[in-house]
Amino acid sequence: MRCFIGGSGSTGSSVLANVLNRHSEVFCGPESYLFTKHQLFTNWKDSKADLLDGKLKSFPWHMYSKVELLNEAYEWEWEKLQELVSYSNFIEEFAEEFFRTVASKHGKSYWIEKTPSNVYGFKYLLDHFPNCFLIHTIRNPYDTIASLNRRGFSIYYATCLYLVNTCVGLAMRNEKHYIPVVYEDLVTHPSQELKKVCDLLGIAFEPSMLVETAAGFDEDIDSWGLSEHGRITDESIGTFNKVSRFVQEEIIYTVNSLRLTPFYAKEFGCDIVDIPGICDLMDFAHYDDGGFMNIFQLNIDKSRDHLTRIIRGYPSKLSKYPVMFRV
């Protein structure tokens, strides 16, 4: 069993990963970012030399060129990791050895990798890991954007992160082993939802998965208002309703202003290209009208983000920029 978790940030992927890691047969460590680099799938031979140097820039909205394979939780040493990169002929060969080794050290039979931007690699993962499972975490867009904004992201950036990651993930929803995990369902009925996930993965549900632990691989983020390692609660449902009216208006306006560009939609096979479309599909409430934001500020935020991608040399720039204003 091979499984990969992805989705927008702040949609419950870390909570789910920590819960799955409590299973007696499953190891699910910290975010590695390994499967977010398209070059490793399309040209492993030439790209692997840059794997450990932080030079692989890919299409995800979140700009991060590094991989976190030397995280202490993975228990790999630099020299051994270099050797593995050197003699591995394909990304699947490298990944199997890397994750299987650490899973074995923990007495686990299976490994799962969680990085939110994995959604950009979903289509490649199906080709390189036949019959793997793709878990896509999804949450109410307004709560997600409000949560990301509380963590310090601008409303523009938070909206785009949710929009792009979610649309790219949903493009795979007709695949046999695609598993959507809706945050609201997970925190409201944790036992029921986890049993569904375990059944689909072919592993037995263990009640101990719901027993809180003192710590996990990821640090808690105070602005979330809950512990990723503690008891699962529904306290973060309705985050949008807890922010100021001014912030609510800005979120509503921004949500109704943005969509994927035709290039990005075609690149990832997205038939849903905006948040209203996500709301219709997932049966989330949507604010069709209303909202207010300084349009000049929104344009400034968009231009600043685009310029950053150009300066830093990311492929998601110029004609390949992911987001545009809805006409």
pLDDT at residue 219, as a whole number: 52
Q: Is there a domain that residue 147 lies in? A: yes
Q: What is the overall mean pLDDT for the chain?
A: 93
Domain count, the chain: 1
- Tell me, yes or no, whether 291 lies in a domain: no
Q: Can you tell me the distance from the alpha carbon of 47 to that of 155, in angstroms, rounded to the nearest whole number?
A: 34
The predicted-structure confidence for 158-176, as pLDDT tens digits, reads as follows 999 999 999 999 999 999 9
pLDDT at 99 over 80: yes
Q: What is the pLDDT of residues 179-215, one digit of tens each?
A: 999 999 999 999 999 999 999 999 999 999 999 876 5
Burial of 249 by CB count in 10 Å (0-12 exposed, 13-18 middle, 19+ buried)?
A: middle
Q: Which residue range is the domain that position 22 belongs to?
A: 2-238
- Which CATH number covers residue 178? 3.40.50.300
Identify whether 222 is part of a domain: yes
Is 19 in contact with 230 (CB distance < 8 Å)? no
Contact 13, 3 (CB under 8 A): no
- Please identify which residue in the block is written with the tokens 């289509």: 123
In a domain, 247, yes or no: no
Whether 324 maps to a domain, the answer reads: no
Q: Is residue 292 part of a domain?
A: no
Find the farthest-apart pair of alpha carbons in the chain and give their distance in angstroms, rounded: 57
131 within a domain of the structure (yes/no)? yes
What pTM, to 2 d.p., does this model score?
0.94
Within a domain: 15: yes
In this predicted structure, the answer to whether residue 245 has a pLDDT above a threshold of 80 is yes
pLDDT tens, 270-306?
999 999 999 999 999 999 876 666 788 899 999 999 9
